[in-house]
Amino acid sequence: MRVSVIQMNQGSEKQANLDQARRLVEAAVAADRPGLVSLPETWTNLGGGRESRQAAAEPLPAPGETGGPAYELMRGLARGHGIHLHGGSMIEAPGPGDDPEKLYNTTVVFDPEGREVTRYRKIHMFDIVAPDGTGYRESALYGAGDRLVTFAAGGITFGCTICYDMRFAEHYVALRRLGAEAILVPSNFTLQTGKDHWEPLLKARAIETQCWIIAAASSGQYLERGQPRSVYGHSLVADPWGHVVARASDGTGWATARIDPGITARVRRDMPVMEHRASRRIDLDAAARGA
């Protein structure tokens, strides 16, 4: 199965972001004929402040209902090109039973018939201070998800994560236990952290889970309340041995790689780390306490 990761330079104008996503997906499909295409994190909006994010948010429809502009664009691209479309993440408005004061950072996946396959809400909130002193507090605006998600496409089981999730190895090991053979990581990685951590973290997650890592990222500058911020880009695909097998250049574009189940099977056969985990399971928290 071929997969393409789309690299965008989105901003606070939602329609411009939708237009950019359409152009890039259509160009990747025409050039490389992938079976699955992945967009970056919050591809519908980046920057502009709280008001801009709220304006970009869409409620996700119930089965059989029509969604908002971003939702219907993804559905149409999947159906029109006969691909699985992994919608990176979009800004989801709260629905019934949700905290009405929160938005959600949510992945939606469509099959080649344009049917919604699954949804995933980002679990780990990006509440940090970057090396340049810039503060980020995602939890002030977004609610956290509480469910691990996998889906099948082209005979491969994919696990869903979003950006900051990648720093939590146990999340990825749990997806492997659920059967994941490839894990998607749509991201808006800051330039400050990305230049040091982006590729090492993605390679580590590939190596320890023996999964393909498929990471579509945002690239370039955007404005946050009038102040410039930069995201790292460098969208990539890594194989289960940790080799980067495809990488996007600077700026907007895409990268495509072939997911080979034979490589996955060989790596797992020759180094059966999950079997070793199962045979040596201990309560590490208890061990750290000396219990």
Q: Report the alpha-carbon distance of residue 125 to residue 123 in Å, rounded.
A: 6
Q: Is 122 a catalytic residue?
A: yes
Q: Is 41 a catalytic residue?
A: yes
Residues 118/149, Cβ–Cβ less than 8 Å: yes
Q: Report the alpha-carbon distance of residue 111 to residue 82 in Å, rounded.
A: 8
Angle made by CA atoms 215, 19, 106, in degrees to the nearest 5: 45
Which run of H or E residues covers position 137?
strand 135-137
**Residue among 14, 92, 163, 181 flagged as catalytic:** 163
- Length of the chain, please? 291
Closest CA to 6 of 203, 197, 253: 253
The position carrying tokens 């695909």 is: 237
Q: Is 265 helix (H, G, I), strand (E, B) or coil?
A: helix
Closest CA to 226 of 45, 48, 8, 63: 48
Q: Report the alpha-carbon distance of residue 79 to residue 68 in Å, rounded.
A: 16
**Residue among 14, 58, 92, 122 flagged as catalytic:** 122
The position carrying tokens 């590490």 is: 284
Residues 107/123, Cβ–Cβ less than 8 Å: no
Q: Report the alpha-carbon distance of residue 72 to residue 44 in Å, rounded.
A: 13
Task: Kindly report the number of other CB atoms within 10 A of residue 155's CB atom.
Answer: 10
Residues marked as catalytic: 41, 122, 163
